[in-house]
Structure 1
Amino acid sequence: MEKSEKVKFSHDDIITPSESQDLPSDYTDGEFKLLRRKVDRYLLPLMWLCHGLQSVDKACVGTQATFGLREDTGLVGQQYSWLTTVFYLTYMCFEFPSIVLLQRYSMGRVLSLYIIGWGLVVLCIGFSQNFTHLITLRALQGIFECCISPGFLLVVGTWYTTREHPSRALVFQTGYAGVSIITDSVIYGIGSVTDKNPDFQAWRYISFFLGGFTILAGLLCLLFLGTPSEVHWLSTDEKKIAIARVMANNTGHDRTGMKDWKWGQARECLVDPTFWFAGINAFVGAVPNGALSTFSAILNTTFGFTNLEVLLLNIPKCIFAVLYFLAVGVLVTKKKNLRMWVMMISTIPAIIGFILLAVLPNEPRYKWTKWGAVFMTCTFITATFFAWSLVTSNVAGRTKRTVVSTITFLGYCIGNMAGSQIFQAKDAPRYIPGSIGCAVCLGVQMLIIFQWRVILNMRNNRRDKQMNELGITEDDIVKNGREMGAQDCTDLENPYFRYVM
């Protein structure tokens, strides 16, 4: 038995439902499905829009750079790269306290206020005059955006069953590609003014547009976003049904406002290999993400495309990304334990794409081939998104889940910081070392995911074997697993817990 697998149990460990726990379960499948459809209508479009705006807003400096941001604010050397680095630096520093705020106070209200705050910052970027203004505002933007992705994953965990996590998470994760289609179309119109009036600083109006749009989305979140116990658009009975659905995940209830911090659960993370896999996977997957977020638009202009052509060419890439994410989301929902195989497969096209970027010269005859190479990279982010949903599905215990979520997003932030610096100004216009580095990171990510899956599979097999030897029925496994989840047991402490892969 691996060192971190500390659970040993026998017939005496089978617990009966406590009288102090209210675990409603007398609902029909029809009631569950009706409630799920209502939740989908209210939450998924809102999270899709907000997550898409977050991704567009944090990457918008890449588009703004092709419309004169660097020249108008006097950026030199690596100063442009530092606009992304400082964003993820403050993102990383403020993420843990922000996640604690989400756990202790009204999750929907906290998330909504953060969204409005980052919208105001993006709007103010349009007034920047120099590097100092830009780097200060980008630092503030990182503070306000740091809890959005982990917050939405916590929301998904409080509303949906384990089987539904990847498809629902991917629906709002497709927001970047979907919202980009909308925003790029508007930005194309804004940028077109520059062709008629060279003195028109389009990048400023891009900030005004995106910031105002984000503030509006934040106001909508104040009205509708939250956990089952927080929202006003469910009746009392519907809230009970919603809570009953998620109790089957064996990860506990949806209540926020809990003050208890369990140091035992935090220490358990340090001896659980999956904790380290989550952090390392987030890092190596984020390096190419940071590189492309910062330099994708600039790279395409080096191939010979204009800034307006880059916006138009981004639309088919976004459409493909939306279709791909939805397809794999449906696949892993209908077929059990395919999630990590899809994660590994999704990195392969991106590895090939980065290698092509490194080996092909910037010549007119390779213009469309190199654009195709950038197009191929759009699938690798699936591994990052699915890994986030694995935390929601596979980590039980509120303190442990908070710590694992934190290391995941710490890895994500550090990786994005490294990625924003991996393309050095001295390596322009081909950025060969950076492209090779991104390909290597994705190769390492494949190996990490494979090892991660092996360990989870071993744990499930070991527990199934022990349950069979003890003669414990499937009904008892479900009932006792739900009860221990309600008592805030971790996935290692709960012998009835089963990991999804």
Structure 2
Amino acid sequence: MSIKKEELTPELEQVRSFTQENLGKNELIAVFSSARGKEIAITADADEAMAMVLGKEHVEITEQANKKVLRKIDFFLIPLIGLLYAFQFMDKTTTSYAAVMGFKKDFHMVGTMYSWCGSAFYLGYLLFEFPANALLQRFPLSKTISAFIVLWGMILCLHAVPTNYAGIITLRVVLGMLESAVTPAMVLLTSQWYKQEEQFLRTAFWFSCNGLGIIIGGGIAYGVAEHSHSYSVEGWRILFIVTGLMTIVTGILFFLHVPDTPSKAWFLTEEEKIIHVERIRSNQQGYGNKHFKKHQFIEALTDINTWLFFAYAIANNIPNGALTNFASILLNSDFGFTPKQSLYMNMPTGGVEFVGCILLAWSVRFFKHRMAISIFAMVIALMGSCLLAFHHNKHVRLAGYYVMYVYPVTTICALSCFASNTAGHTKKISTNAIFLIGYCVGNLIGPQTFISKQAPTYTGGKISFVICDAFSILFLALIYLNYWRLNKKKEKDLAVMDLSELKQHDNLEFADLTDFENPYFRYSL
């Protein structure tokens, strides 16, 4: 690591001193005009990373030091985040396993009653999405999410208690409320710790652990079902208790292990913390800001990409909501597997998701446009859903069902876009929340596409997969084109802007400007 000595002008020294004295306050530092003449203010209410770099010389990082810090971050964070995501998805799919273990029968479910067990989860998720994001912004990130994880594990254990339908529906709503914080928290963590070009693959690592959740959950469910005669209570109740306890342990580990920000990382030396700040400088954003900024929220609402991602989230998650709750039932009723066989026959989908998503994300090393990779993955998923819906041969339909499980690459791409392509902390959490509202709406609708009178084939539900996959491709293509257009526009605007006032401000990357406000920000395709 080497230090670059700078010739600091008196004006720059004055700006640094003023920022240091007023850090965190809404005190004006500078105003500059955008290419359209709009005035953009820089205040001392900046990103938390600003405190680490004020008054210090910039650091030039050697390739060796960069790789060492990156390896450390990967080693200490990715395995635990992946484990958390595996258990999170396992918890959501537990009802699918329980359904073929007597869960539906014991609660006397008829008609759409079971479908509403799936939709109720996402109703709670929807209701609490904005409050959850507000809590993540206001309080220490890892401590807050740890509390959510432990509480959701407790609620999952309590699924073994109810003896009536109303009780289980209530618990499903509360479970959804608590899990609503997980994905936005992981997006924030990814944006804090990794450079733009690193975020797609790292997001793929932790998100694709959903596939491990399918494998682990299916294995546990099969083991419980195989020995159900040995228990004094129903096997599905044991299943909820086991998965809930695993989640509680994960929450405690998360509390003890994951720092709230990189500046508090117990596994990095002081020198490595400075290297890390310089690593992420190119992101044009830092660790976060605890204050809600109304103008950033308004910008999120007026950004066309926010609503394109929202529309994509609905289309993409209608199939997801259906599969999360009906996968085992579909394998049992449509493909003719026994209830126990359906538990382990669903496990290959986890392997396809885990391996397929990581391989597709890894290909970004050779083809730099992750949006194009995402569209390609969605085309593969569309082919799979067409086979599942329209082919007469059972084995071909089963192959189509398995192939469909590369579709999470598209969500991985979307989440990595929020981490890298949405700057300004309030705008980031707002955009993320709106996307997850669309995610909830899609997952709410999904179980309702599997109509009981269409059993055992559920033709309408399978055709909805095809339609939704086609619309997902359309929305992803529009987002891709819009990012490309905005980058071209930013290049043109930068050429005509007067940035003399802006150049006096040091560490602009950590001023908590949005992607619209920062003239140096570029969207990663």
Q: Normalising by the residue count of structure 1, what TM-score does the alignment of the two structures yield?
A: 0.89
- The corresponding residue for 2:120 is 86
Task: Tell me the CA shift for residue 9 of structure 1.
Answer: 7.5
Given the superposition, is the C-alpha separation of residues 384 and 21 from structure 1 closer, same or farther in structure 2, using an over 3 Å criterion?
farther
- The corresponding residue for 2:237 is 204
Distance 1:26 1:372 in 2: 51
**Is the 1:358–1:430 contact (alpha carbons within 8 Å) kept by the matching residues of 2?**
no
Moved more, 405-414 or 321-330: 321-330
Amino acid of the residue matched to residue 171 of structure 1?
F
After superposition, the C-alpha distances for 1:455-483 in whole angstroms (9 at most, x for unaligned) are 111121233345568899xxx9xx99994
Given the superposition, is the C-alpha separation of residues 33 and 451 from structure 1 closer, same or farther in structure 2, using an over 3 Å criterion?
same
For the aligned residue pairs, the C-alpha RMSD in angstroms reads 2.8
Distance 1:399 1:442 in 2: 31
**Please, which of 65, 77, 87 is the counterpart of residue 111 of structure 2?**
77
- The corresponding residue for 2:168 is 134
Matches within 5 A, 1:405-444: 405-444=432-471
Distance 1:274 1:482 in 2: 30
Percent of pairs identical after alignment?
30
Classify the secondary structure of the residue corresponding to 1:117.
Answer: helix
**Is the 1:284–1:444 contact (alpha carbons within 8 Å) kept by the matching residues of 2?**
yes
Given the superposition, is the C-alpha separation of residues 73 and 230 from structure 1 closer, same or farther in structure 2, using an over 3 Å criterion?
farther
Classify the secondary structure of the residue corresponding to 2:80.
Answer: helix
- The corresponding residue for 1:495 is 519
**Please, which of 151, 175, 178 is the counterpart of residue 117 of structure 1?**
151
Structure 1, unaligned runs of 5 or more: 1-5
Amino acid of the residue matched to residue 351 of structure 1?
L
Classify the secondary structure of the residue corresponding to 2:263.
Answer: coil
**Is the 2:214–2:349 contact (alpha carbons within 8 Å) kept by the matching residues of 1?**
no
- The corresponding residue for 1:170 is 204
1:348 is the counterpart of 2:379? yes
After superposition, the C-alpha distances for 1:141-163 in whole angstroms (9 at most, x for unaligned) are 11110010110111010000000
1:485 is the counterpart of 2:509? yes
Task: Tell me the CA shift for residue 27 of structure 1.
Answer: 2.9
1:271 is the counterpart of 2:299? no
Distance 1:129 1:236 in 2: 55
Amino acid of the residue matched to residue 115 of structure 2?
S
After superposition, the C-alpha distances for 1:137-185 in whole angstroms (9 at most, x for unaligned) are 1111111100101101110100000001110001001111123323322
Distance 2:316 2:55 in 1: 41
Task: Tell me the CA shift for residue 249 of structure 1.
Answer: 0.2
Distance 1:335 1:23 in 2: 35
Amino acid of the residue matched to residue 203 of structure 1?
W
Moved more, 68-77 or 47-56: 68-77
Given the superposition, is the C-alpha separation of residues 278 and 368 from structure 1 closer, same or farther in structure 2, using an over 3 Å criterion?
same
- The corresponding residue for 1:447 is 474
Q: Normalising by the residue count of structure 2, what TM-score does the alignment of the two structures yield?
A: 0.85
Distance 1:325 1:381 in 2: 7
**Is the 1:48–1:175 contact (alpha carbons within 8 Å) kept by the matching residues of 2?**
yes
Task: Tell me the CA shift for residue 357 of structure 1.
Answer: 3.1
Amino acid of the residue matched to residue 378 of structure 2?
T
**Please, which of 417, 426, 444 is the counterpart of residue 390 of structure 1?**
417
Given the superposition, is the C-alpha separation of residues 169 and 437 from structure 1 closer, same or farther in structure 2, using an over 3 Å criterion?
same
- The corresponding residue for 2:353 is 321
- The corresponding residue for 1:234 is 268
- The corresponding residue for 1:214 is 247
Task: Tell me the CA shift for residue 23 of structure 1.
Answer: 7.4
- The corresponding residue for 1:3 is none
1:457 is the counterpart of 2:484? yes
- The corresponding residue for 1:367 is 394
Task: Tell me the CA shift for residue 123 of structure 1.
Answer: 1.1
Classify the secondary structure of the residue corresponding to 2:227.
Answer: helix
Distance 2:58 2:159 in 1: 49
Moved more, 221-230 or 38-47: 221-230
Distance 1:482 1:333 in 2: 32
Classify the secondary structure of the residue corresponding to 2:267.
Answer: coil
